[in-house]
Amino acid sequence: MGHSLFVELKNRGALALRKLKLFHQLVAFFATKSSDPKPSVFLGRTGPSTLLCRPPPTHQFWVVSLRLCFLCAAISYLVGSVLYPGGSYHNAHAAGFDHWHNYLCDLWAEHPHGHVHNAARPWGIATVFFLSAALTPLSLIIWRLTARTSPRARAVSLLLMTGTPSGCLVFTPFHDLAIEVGFIPTSVGYLLSLFALGHAGYLRLAWLGLWPLGAAVLNFALWITGAAPFFTPLVQKFALLGLLTWALLASAVRNQANGHSDVKA
């Protein structure tokens, strides 16, 4: 009995170590620069400033902040999905929250699909708040990854940050306006960030970043045109999952890049 338990724990520990090693290999793959950093054509020329070449002592703060925002958003989303009273765009009598058929905004609706009370509303608001807030540390992480080759990358980061205030307004009566006004500059800032990452040598990370952007553009196009096919909520979740995965990977790459800088120093 004791021997079999020991063997089981040993096997699980070995499996966990293999998964951890695989994660580090994945981070190393995207952290490996595909080419020498090139000065960006549209973001400015490389400057001699040593301030841009040295990682700030508070770089870990933004990485930890990003991960905490995503963790809090995930917890809020799961709790809200449990408390949601029911109903979706295509089936008002559906029971509970269906991850495949419910939009994220259903969680913070005051009276979703005819229900008098929505216990999930505070959790839905918390979800979108943390998701929007995560764009700020993500912007600064990207800026630090691209600062050596693009001194003007700070302007791109500020453009990406516009998603934070606009995202925090989607649960108010300004829902439609916040999406219409905030989506375009945020998407442009995100796209320019991918270009900056590519010029900095992180081509693999930049190409991977097109996944959430493509899904987000498709979701926005379906929303703005009024089309609502049954798979639209799935596209929305696909875009959010892609952004979360890519942002966490970018933060891990940032950590690894900073580790290499420390070694060289």
Dihedral sign from CA coordinates of 47, 206, 222, 240 = negative
pLDDT of 123 higher than 90: yes
Q: Where are the alpha helices (DSSP H) in the chain?
A: 2-31, 50-53, 59-83, 121-133, 135-146, 153-160, 163-167, 175-199, 203-208, 210-224, 232-264
Cα–Cα distance measured from residue 258 to residue 21, given in angstroms and rounded to the nearest whole number: 20
Query: Other C-beta atoms within 10 Å of 260: how many?
Result: 11
Q: Is the pLDDT of residue 43 over 50?
A: no
More confident residue, 154 or 16: 154
pLDDT of residue 11 exceeding 60: no
Tokens standing for 119? Answer: 């216990």
The structure's pTM equals 0.75
- Which pLDDT score, from 0 to 100, does residue 175 have? 81
pLDDT at residue 18 is higher than 70? no
**CA of residue 152 relative to chain centroid, distance:** 23
Taking residues 11-40, what's their average pLDDT? 54
Res. 93 pLDDT band, cuts 50 70 90: confident
Task: Identify which of 15-24, 71-80, 251-260 has the greatest average pLDDT.
Answer: 71-80
Distance CA 45, CA 261 (A): 22
Q: Please report, for the chain, the start and end positions of each structural domain, with discontinuous segments joined by +.
A: 59-260
pLDDT tens string 204-238? 889 999 989 999 999 899 888 877 777 888 899 99
Which of 225, 137, 139 is closest to 180 using CA atoms?
225
**Contact yes or no for 43/156 (Cβ under 8 A):** yes
| Mean pLDDT for the chain overall | 77
Could you give the maximum distance between any two Cα atoms of the chain, in Å?
67
Strand partners, 95: 86
pLDDT at 30: 56
The identity of residue 92, as a single letter, is A
Phi and psi angles of residue 86, each rounded to the nearest 5 degrees, phi first: 130, 165
Dihedral sign from CA coordinates of 169, 170, 173, 175 = positive
* Contact yes or no for 34/201 (Cβ under 8 A): yes
Q: How far apart are CA 258 and CA 93, in angstroms?
A: 52
Whether the predicted pLDDT of 50 surpasses 70: no
Which residue shows structure tokens 């495949």?
Answer: 100
